[in-house]
Structure formats: structure tokens, C-alpha cells
Structure 1
Amino acid sequence: MTGTRSTRQRDVIAQVLGRAPGPLAVAEVFERAQDDLPGLGIATVYRTLKLLTEQGRIHPVTLDGETLYEAAGKGHHHHFSCNQCGRVFTLHTCPVTLPSGTVYPGGFVVEAHEVTLYGQCPECAAG
């Protein structure tokens, strides 16, 4: 594998994640990246996701025990998981007012938080 091909794979996978409305599972990244890279292998996707994570270009999101990936640099945000279609969306508003440094009952000092809301996405709710 040449350096150029490897760079193209990294760029395509990073672009797939950058265009997604929320974090994607490995299989979704693989499927979407194959449009631009028909010969792409699943092992290459795993290696590239690991490398992009190490480079800070993407970051993992654990949701219901599954690791999903999304582009880095989205700032503070949360997720909505549709119980019907299974898609995960990025929410750009925070439903929780809990600043870093807050002391939660019991002496827990908050450093950060993640929230995932569950329900039906607009498309499934309308259908």
C-alpha cells in the first residue's frame, strides 16, 4: 500500500464522518466510504479509525455498549438515538445545566458530562 493511497483512505473516512448527522458505527463508515473507495477493506477501516483517533481528527462515542465515531471539533454537544430506525444524531443544544466544578450530591465533582436522549427521530415520528 502506498502512502498516497493511505492518505486518500484517511481523507475519505474523515470526510464520511464529517458529513454524518451523528456518530457512525464501523459498518456504517465502511459502507459509506466504499462509494469513493470501492476496494476498501474492513480491516483498513478499523486501522484508519484508530489512526484518526490517535491524531485527534475523530473521537469515539460509546452508546449502548457500541463504539461509534464522529468528527472532532464539534464542541460541546449531545446525542439522540432513534429507537425505531437506530440512527444517532448530534444535538447542538445541551439539556443539562451542570458546569464543570459543580459538586453533585454525595461529593462527586463534575468535570464533564454526556447525555444521550432516546425516542423517535422526526422521520420515524412522522411515519
Structure 2
Amino acid sequence: MTTARHTRQREVIAAVLQQAEGPLSAPELLARAQVALPTLGTATVYRTLKLLQQQGEAHAVKLDGEPLYESSGRGHHHHFSCNVCGRVYSLHSCPVALPSGTVYPGGFVVEGHEVTLYGRCPQCAEAR
């Protein structure tokens, strides 16, 4: 495999992550990236995700199932997981007023937090 091709694959995968409305699974990322690069394979996606994480350009989001991936640098945000269609969306408002350094009852010192809300996304709620 040539360096230019590898670079093009990395660029496409990074662009898909940046344009996504929420974190993506590796198979979702593969399907979207194959629109631009039809010959892109699963192994290349996983290798590129590992590289992007090592470079700090992407990170894994851990929910109940398989890991999902999103671009880094999006600032503090949380996620909404649709119970009907399974899509995960990024939420850009924080429902928790719990700043870093807060001492939680029992002596727990907060350094950060993650929140995932579950329910029906607008499309699935409308269809019901």
C-alpha cells in the first residue's frame, strides 16, 4: 500500500468523524467512508481509528455496547441514545451542574463527568 493511499484513507475517515452528528461505530464509519472510498476495508478502519486515537484526533465513547468513535476537540458534551433506531447523537448542553473539583458526598472529588440520555430521537418519536 502506498503512503498517498494511506493518507487519503486517513483523511476520509477523519472527515467522516468530523461531519458525524454523533459518535459512530466502526461499521457505521466504514459504510460512510466507503461512499468516498468504495474499496476501504474493515481492518484499515480499525488501524486508522487506533492511529487517530494515538494522535489525539479521535476518542472512543463507551456506552452499553460496542465502542463508538468521535473526533476530539468538540468540547464538553454528552450523548443521547435512541432506544428505537439505535443512533447516538451528541448533545451540546450539559444537564449536570457539577464542575470539576466539586466534592461529592462521601469525599469523592469530581474530575469530570459523562452523561448519556436514553429515549426516542425526534424521527422515531414523530413516527410513533
TM-score bracket, normalised by the shorter chain, equals over 0.9
The residue correspondences of 1:23-42 to structure 2 (distance < 5 A) are 23-42=23-42
How many pairs does the alignment contain? Answer: 127
Unaligned runs of 5+ in 2: none
Partner of 1:16: 16
By how many angstroms is 1:65 displaced?
Answer: 3.7
Partner of 1:88: 88
- Which secondary structure state, in structure 1, belongs to the residue aligned with residue 100 of structure 2? coil
The Cα offsets for residues 51-84 of structure 1, whole Å up to 9 and x where unpaired, read as 0110111111001042100011100000000000
The residue correspondences of 1:70-81 to structure 2 (distance < 5 A) are 70-81=70-81
In structure 2, distance between residues paired with 1:31 and 1:66: 16
TM-score, normalising length: structure 1: 0.98
Partner of 1:114: 114
TM-score, normalising length: structure 2: 0.97
Q: Percent identity?
A: 70
1:44 to 2:44 alignment: yes
What CA RMSD, in Å, does the superposition of the two structures yield over aligned residues? 0.6
Which portions of structure 1, spanning 4 or more consecutive aligned residues, are displaced by more than 6 angstroms? none
